[in-house]
Structure formats: structure tokens, C-alpha cells
Amino acid sequence: MRMLHRIKKTVKKAVMAVNKNGPHSKSIKKALQSRADIEEHQSLKLSRQQKKNADDYAVDVLGSKEYAPWLYVYTLMQGQFKEGWIPSNFFDVRVTPVINKSVGKATKLKTFTNLILRTESIPDIAYYIDGVLYDRAMSKISIKTLSERLSELGGQVYVKADDSGQGRDVFRISAEEINNDFLKKNGNCVIQQSIKQHEFFKRIIDETVATLRITTVKEKNGDISVRAAYLRLGRSNTSWVQSDNSVRAAIVNNSGELGEFCYSSDWRKWTAHPDTKVAFAGQKIPKFEEAVNTCAELHKKIPHLTIIGWDVVISDSENVKIIEWNARHPDIRFAESALGPCFIGLNWEQYRK
């Protein structure tokens, strides 16, 4: 109890100190809370030397000590400090706006995605834009035509609002519930076919559809590479994977093998899914190489973007399906914590103040 009280007191004091850190404040608070969670739930503690290494690197390489808190988190997770890590707030404030420019914002428009990517890998059925319904080819359709199409497919569908993300503004409903009133209420959105996941993921947890987060990067010579990948699983009390209530497990090699541990959003650590008790060590993601290649090939279509985070589902028929992509805020926190440094050689440190 004394340790828990000390951690909470330290976090509260640190949060008060960063309240005026402008664009970094929210991320710094998250880092401080993450550090406290790891220290509490995993019984770890940052050594003085580790903290000094992180502080010095933040100042000397990245230009400010405000980048140190995420380096603390990464160090705790890996048990040692490593040069080359990119702190989440440095990435969000200094890197992404430069390397992805304003083009990254387009990835938040779900109704716009397939106009850019032009792929059968996206499970879009129809779009509702400014009060008008369109089919997958962007031809106008009536609500009756949509209803008939949904009836043919059967089952439930996902409705995702433009600018939705991390499980927010996403609805899983029956096809019969789609009508003009529902669409008007929720505004511009995409209607996506529900995907039945591969048996491999059903064996881990069947209540939600598992997603792979695959991060691709455009190298200096224009080639596309995959820099990180991990598995995201839902909990037994959710209908789909939500960032603040999910389990993440690192994919540790190119063959799609899972690491020994998984982590919740508050950094609790397990060797098996906390709800189903299915272990992770040694398990291999099916069709992982195909998923990686699909993401890399799609990234080639948009060389304007340097980094993209892809959310991928492997279906029961072993097809690769892209359900989300993000180049506006492609989160790197878990990747850097569990697998990093993931972005060595890209010279992102040059974007320091």
C-alpha cells in the first residue's frame, strides 16, 4: 500500500508540473500514468542510471527533457535503455506533421478510404455522404437498394462514422436497423460487412474480431518496409476491439510468431489472454506474410505518406481484410515499448526543435 501511495503521489505531482507543456501535456500525462501502471502492476522500478540515460538522450538527441517520460516507459518495459527510441510525444508533435503532412488527415475519412486505396481488401458495402447513399463504386443508390444488398449478405454490419477511431463512433447492428433516420442521426459514415475471423483467433477469444496492427514506413529510397506488428484482442465484455479495453501481444519475427506476453491498456502483463486463459508463446499468426505484403503494396499507392498504421483481419476463408488505416496519429507507443527501437535509420531525430 505504501508503494502504491508513493506512485500515485509522484504521478499527481508530475502531472501538475506538466499541465502547461502545451501540445505535449496530454501525452506526458499519459506517459507518467503508464510508468506508474507498469511499476505497480509489474513490480518494476526505473533505476537512477536508467532515468539519467533517458533524460540525457531526450535533451542531447531530441532537444528537450519533455521527451523523457515515454523513454522511461520504454525502458521499464524492456529492462534497459536503448538509443534510437522515438518518444510518442516527439513523434506526434515533431515527426508526423512533417513526414505525413496534411495528407494524413484523409485517413480519418472512412468514406474516402477506398477512393484512395482501390482494393478489394476493404469490406466496404456502401457510403452515406451529405445525406446521399452511394454504393461501393460511388454510384447513388436508394435505401431500398441498400436494404436488399444487406439482406443478401445477412447477419450484422459495422457502421463507422468519418473521423471515428479506436472503437469510438462505431456501431455493430443488424442490417434491418439501417434506415434513413439512423443514417441522418449519425452523419457521414461507411457501412462495412462483418468479417468472420480465422479459427486461430477464435480459439483465443470468440466474442470479438482480432486485429493485427501493422506499421509500414517509406524508406529514404522510396521502398516500403514493415517496422512493427502486433496482435490486438478484445475482452469478453466487449463487442469489438477497443483501444482502452483490449489486450496486445507483440509479433516478434517475420514469420508471425507471438511473444510470450500480452498486455492490457493499463500495462498489466500476462502469459495468456486474461479472460480465456489461452497462452501466446510460440503461436503463429496465420497468413501473416500475406497480410504484411498487402499493407506494403497498398502503401506504395500513397508515397505522400511516410508512415501508416494498418488494422488487419484474417478471415475464416484466409483472406486479408483491411478494416482501418491511420496516418494522422499512427500510434507507436506499444510497438516502441514491446519491440523497439522500431524506426532506426530514418533520421527522425532531425525534427527536434
pTM summary value: 0.91
Tell me the CATH number for domain 101-109+197-327.
3.30.470
Other C-beta atoms within 10 Å of 202: how many?
14
Q: Measure the CA–CA gap between 3 and 332, rounded to whole angstroms.
A: 29
Handedness of CA 167, 301, 198, 342 (dihedral sign): negative
**DSSP β-bridge partners for residue 256:** none
∠ Cα 330 259 11 (to 5°): 60
Written as tens digits, the pLDDT of the chain (353 aa) is 555 555 555 544 544 444 455 667 899 999 999 999 999 999 999 999 999 999 999 999 999 999 999 999 999 999 999 999 999 999 999 999 999 999 988 898 999 999 999 999 999 999 999 999 999 999 999 999 999 999 888 878 999 999 876 556 788 888 888 999 999 999 999 999 999 999 999 999 998 899 999 999 999 999 999 999 999 998 887 766 777 788 999 999 999 999 999 999 999 999 999 999 999 998 999 999 999 999 999 999 999 999 999 999 999 999 999 999 999 989 999 999 999 999 999 999 999 97
Name the phi and psi angles at 272, rounded to 5: -145, 160
- DSSP single-letter state for residue 321: E
Q: List the chain domain ranges.
A: 2-85, 101-109+197-327, 124-193
Kindly state the cell numbers that stand for 237.
465484455
Q: Contact 199/163 with Cβ under 8 angstroms?
A: no
Q: What is the 3-state secondary structure (H, E, C) of 175-234?
A: HHHCCHHHHHHHCCEEEEECCCECHHHHHHCCCCCCEEEEEEEECCCCCEEEEEEEEEEE
